[in-house]
Chain A
Amino acid sequence: MRKPTRPAIYGVMAEFDNPTDVVAATRRAYEDGYRRIDAYSPYPIEALSEAVGPHKERLPLIVLIGGIIGLIGGYAMQYYVAVWNYPLNVGGKPLHSWPAFIPITFETTVLGAAMAAIFGMLALNGLPEPYHPVFNVPNFALASRDRFFLVIEARDPKFDRDATTGFLRSLGAQEVADVEH
C-alpha cells in the first residue's frame, strides 16, 4: 500500500557524457533552488561533491571519538593487567611503567579510529542498502563506466515533474528519464 503523501516517482535523472557538464549542471540546479539533488560519477570528482551543496561532515568527529576510545581503552587495559591483575617485577621497573605502554596504546588508538572510520562511514551512508530506485533506470549501469548522472528527487519542494524534466534538458543532458520507485 502506498502512502498518500508519497510522490508518484522517485525523481528525474539526467545523463551526461562528460564530467564538466555534470558539474556545471549540478551547480545550475543548486543555484536554481533545488536542494534534494544527488550526482553520480564513475570516479570521485571533488568539484562535484561541492556542487551538490554544502554538507556537514560528521565522520571526522566519529573517527576522533573512536581514536580517543582506543587510546584510553588500550592504556587502561595495560594498566589493569600490569598493575592490578598480574603484577610482575620486570627489571626492577615500576609496575606502572608508562613508556612500555605507549606502543600498544598507539596501536589501539589507530585500531579504534580505523574501526570508527569504516563503520561510521557505512552507517552515515546508510549502507548496506540492498535496494535503491536509481537502478531502475537501465542506463544507470553506465555510472560505473563512463557516464555521469544528476538526479533531482521528487521530495524536493521545488520539484515539478514536467518543469524539472525541461530544466534538466535545458542543461545539455544527453537524456532525461523518470526514476521509478
Chain B
Amino acid sequence: MSAEAATETTYNAPSSVGQLGGRALVAGIIALVLCVVGAFVNPAGFWRAYLVGYVFWTGVSVGSLAIIMLHHLSGGGWGVVIRRPLEAAARTLPVMAILFLPIAFAIFTHRLYPWTLPEEQDVEIIKHKALYLNIPFFLARTVFYFAMWYMLSYFLSKWSLQQDATVDPRERRSLKDKLQNLSGPGILLFGLTVTFAAVDWVMSLEPEWFSTIYGLLIMVGWGLTALAFAIVTTVILSRDERLEHVYQPRHFHDHGKLLLAFVMLWAYFSFSQFLIIWSGNLPEEIPWYMRRLFGGWGYVAVAIVVLHFALPFVLLLSRERKRRARALVIVALLVLVMRVVDLFWTIAPSVLAMPRHGGAEAAGYGGGMADVVAYALNFITPIAIGGFWLWWYARELASRPLLPLGDEGLENALEQADGHH
C-alpha cells in the first residue's frame, strides 16, 4: 500500500474488525431469513418495516458524508481521528443502492406508496401531485441522489488516500484545498438531495400530508445516526492497545459535545414541526400527529421524547461522561436504537392513513399474530440490512490506514494533552 511508504507509523485496522464484519454478516443472514419468513406471514407489513431499516442505514452512509465535509470545512482533531471510519461508512453507498431494488420492486407492484396504487389515481390531491409523484420520475430522482452521494464519497475518499501517499507539503496542501472546495458545495448538495430523498422515500407514504421542515428532520436524524455510529466504531477500535493513545478523552469529549448538539437540534426540529401543526390544527395536517399520538403509538411517542431526547440530553451534560469512552458509547448506542424507534414511529403508522384501502387491516395490522410479526419486522430489518452494511463497512475500514496519514492536523490530533509520554 502506498501509505506505508509515506510514514514510518502505520495504523492498520486490527484483525478484530474483520471478525466483527464476519459476525455481522452471519447475524444479517439469520435476520434476513427471519425477514423472508415474516414477509410470507405478513407481506403488507414487511415493506414498511424494510423501509425503516433502509432509511436507518442509508442515514449512516449519507450522514457520514456530511460529517466528513463539515470536518474539511471546520478542521479540528475530533474529525481527524474519525475521518477514516466516516469515509469507510460513506463507501458503503453501493450496498444501499443495491438494497433499493426491493423498494423499486414494491413500487412497481404497488405495495408501499399509496400514490402508486391504481385506485388512488382518481383522488383529487393525488392527481395534482402526479407530476412529481409518479414512478419513473421517482426512480430517476433516487438514481440521481445516489449518483450525487457516490460522487461525493468517491472524491472525498480518493483525495484523502492520495494525501497519505504524498510527502510534498505543497501537494498535500493542494489536495486539502481540493477537499475543502468540494466540501463547500457538497454540503449544499447534501442538504438538497437529502431533503428531496426524505420527501420521496418517507413523506410520500402519506401523500396528502406535507411538512416543510421534514427534510431537515431527516437530515439531522441522519447526521446524528452517523455520529453515534462513528463514536461506537472509535470506542471499539480504542480497545486495541496499538490504538489506545489515538482516541483520547479530549476527542471523545468533542464527539460527546457534538452528539449533544445533534440530539438538541433533532429535538428542536421535531418540536418545531409539532408546535406549528398543533397550533394550526388544520384538517390536512393534524391527522399525521393524531395517528401517532393516540392508541398504542402515544406510548411510543412518549418513549421517544424521554429516550431520544431527555435521557441523552441529561447524560451528555456531564463532562466526565463525555470524556470516558465506555460511558459515551452507551449513550451513542441508546441514540442508535432510538433512531430506529423514531423511524418506526414515523413510518409504520402511515398505514392508518389508508382508510380507502381497508386501512390498517389491509396494510398488515389486523390484530393478532400478524400484528406482532409486523411490529417485530421493524426491528429485524435493521439487523438484516445492517449485517450486510457492517460486513461491507468492515472491509472498507480495513482496506486503508485508520488515520489520514497525510492530514496536516494529524500531529496535533495525536499529541497527548498533558505533554507527557
Contact = CB atoms under 8 A, between A and B. Distances in A.
A100 B279 contact: yes
Interface string B266-283: 000001001100110100
A23 B319 contact: no
B118 interface: no
B261 interface: no
B417 A102 contact: no
B274 A99 contact: yes
A103 B275 contact: yes
A178 to B, nearest CB: 29
Nearest to B317: A64
Nearest to A47: B418
Main secondary structure of the interface of A (DSSP, over half): helix
A50 B418 contact: yes
B419 interface: yes
Contacts of A50: 418
Contacts of B275: 99-100, 102-103
A60 B275 CA distance: 31
Nearest to B419: A47
Nearest to A19: B419
A129 interface: no
A99 B278 contact: yes
A46 B275 CA distance: 42
A130 interface: no
B37 to A, nearest CB: 42
A46 B417 CA distance: 8
Contacts of B317: 64
Interface in B252-276: 271, 274-275
Given A60-B319, A91-B281, A102 B419 contact: no
A23 B417 CA distance: 12
B271 A102 contact: yes
A144 interface: no
A20 interface: yes
Contacts of A102: 271, 275
B419 A23 contact: yes
Interface in B404-420: 417-419
Interface in A63-103: 64, 91, 93, 99-100, 102-103
A23 to B, nearest CB: 6
Interface residues of B, number: 11
Contacts of B319: 60
A93 B279 CA distance: 9
A97 to B, nearest CB: 9
A100 B418 CA distance: 48
A100 B280 CA distance: 12
A23 B420 CA distance: 11
B279 A20 contact: no
Contacts of B419: 20, 23, 47
Interface in A46-62: 46-47, 50, 60
Contacts of B278: 99
Interface string B307-351: 000000000010100000000000000000000000000000000
A148 to B, nearest CB: 13
Interface in A34-50: 46-47, 50
Interface string B375-419: 000000000000000000000000000000000000000000111
Nearest to A64: B317
B41 to A, nearest CB: 39
Contacts of A99: 274-275, 278-279
A147 B182 CA distance: 42
Interface of A: 20, 23, 46-47, 50, 60, 64, 91, 93, 99-100, 102-103
Interface of B: 271, 274-275, 278-279, 281, 317, 319, 417-419
21 contacts: A20-B419, A23-B419, A46-B417, A47-B417, A47-B418, A47-B419, A50-B418, A60-B319, A64-B317, A91-B279, A91-B281, A93-B281, A99-B274, A99-B275, A99-B278, A99-B279, A100-B275, A100-B279, A102-B271, A102-B275, A103-B275
Closest 6 CB pairs of A and B: A47-B418, A99-B278, A99-B275, A47-B419, A46-B417, A23-B419
